Amino acid sequence: MISFARKQFVNSGTLLRRAVKLPSFNILFSQSAVMVILIIADVVYARMFSTEMFGTWKQLALLINLVIPLMSLGIPEGFKYYAALDRTNITAHLGRVLALTALVFTIVFFLFSFGAVNLIARLLNNAGIIHFKYMVPVLFLVISINQIFRNLMINNQQTGILLNSAVVILIAGVFLIFLNVYSYHFFPENVLWILLALMFVVLFSIPSIMYLVKEKNILRDIKATDLTGSYRNYFKIGFPIFVATFIGVIGANLDKALVSSLTDVKQFAVYSVGAFEIPFFSMISASVSQSIFPQLVQLYNDKSVKEAKALWLKTTLRVTYITYPIILFLMIFAKPLIVLIFTDKYVDGVFIFKTFLLIGLWRNGYYGGLISASGKTKWITLYSAISLISNITFSFLMYKVMGIYGIAYGALMATVIVATLQLAHERLLGGWFRTIILNRTVLILVILILIFYFI
């Protein structure tokens, strides 16, 4: 028995070492590191901060999720596509997109210096947002560069750097959380504003810095590379995705923006706890999608559409095996978990939380990923517009009937509609239903999840 247990332990260690070497694992772990830090921050700040201050922290996160992606104009997405398609000229592509990002940063800094942040503060119904006048442009620059270098590392199969950076992120993040708590008790509020924004800057800077430390000659190579050529290509591919992102970000944060505008900071804090869409689901599907995206692009470029569809279904099923059991567990213990983690001040958010867990059922893959891989990104824009219109329509209708709880239902309905339309467009709806939903394990999990949702 002892020898058998030892053998199983050794086998588990071998499997773990193999997993660490997989690009998808490295990508997932690096994304999960930021997710873990933000979850820890939510838990600590919910307990240590006042409800108003915690609501402001959540509004800062909303600001980053809502505004930052809209400034990029699709440049990182354009680089992601051409880095996968044209690897021989990847240095030239990198130099061009960095130059474009610097130009956009200059424009954003100018706009925020002359009043753009005041408009955002009024929309979020929180004058404290004005304190981030200079930090928002910096956050845009840091997050955009981080996204560009992540795509570069994935395409160059250097995801080990992402794994190492995740460890640094965890250490730095914990330190910054306790620094912010200390500042809340002993320093003026203005100092806390700066430190909260600085936390995001540090977390998103670490992967890029570690890549530049390892690849010391990359900047020199860019300077030595001829950067003349068409810059429009990045917008041709990336801008439709940007428009889709613009619409998608608004749709994804419409509920929170609506609650923030119609209620006070306290109610927003309660709703934001309930409307907590488990980041792990999106993280794992995004990491797997990013790792196979270069393969999907090449398969479409080689006219191997059938193989691309099979690869997408295979990876989506694997992600489903991970996310659906977690959703079931969270659905069963939703109330005690909310009370345990955030205290009973936020118990009113339990039903909203369970509704957002249903949205998690659709976070098992990148729906529309095959459309992006084929280069026909204009369709992504169309489906994002449909998502936004559906979200707005259903949210307002359900809000009139159920109050803020109806807004969560609006988000769920929009998610289901758009994912179904994208699957139908890719001619994957039947294959998705047979391969994913009718899978015996998945079907049992879905039935149990729905049962415990209504209990």
User: How do the domains of the chain map onto residue ranges?
Assistant: 20-236, 275-455
pTM here?
0.63
Whether residue 146 contacts residue 204, with contact meaning beta carbons closer than 8 Å, is answered with yes
pLDDT for residue 13 = 47
Q: Provide the percentage of residues in the chain whose pLDDT is more than 90.
A: 11
| Residue 449 pLDDT greater than 80, yes or no | yes
pLDDT of residue 8: 43
Cα-based distances in Å from 403 to 15, 271, 393: 49, 12, 14
Entry field: residues in the chain: 455
Tokens 């981080």 map to which residue? 146
Average pLDDT, the chain: 80
**Pairwise CA distance, residues 437 & 51, whole Å:** 41
Are 373 and 300 in contact by the 8 Å Cβ rule? The answer is yes
Tell me the pLDDT band of 378, cut-offs 50, 70 and 90: confident
- Cβ atoms of 449 and 426 within 8 Å: the answer is no
- Written as one string, the DSSP assignment of 130-173 is GGGTTHHHHHHHHHHHHHHHHHHHHHTT-THHHHHHHHHHHHHH
H or E segment at 51? helix 51-71
Tens-place pLDDT, residues 383-419: 878 888 888 888 888 877 887 788 888 888 888 998 8
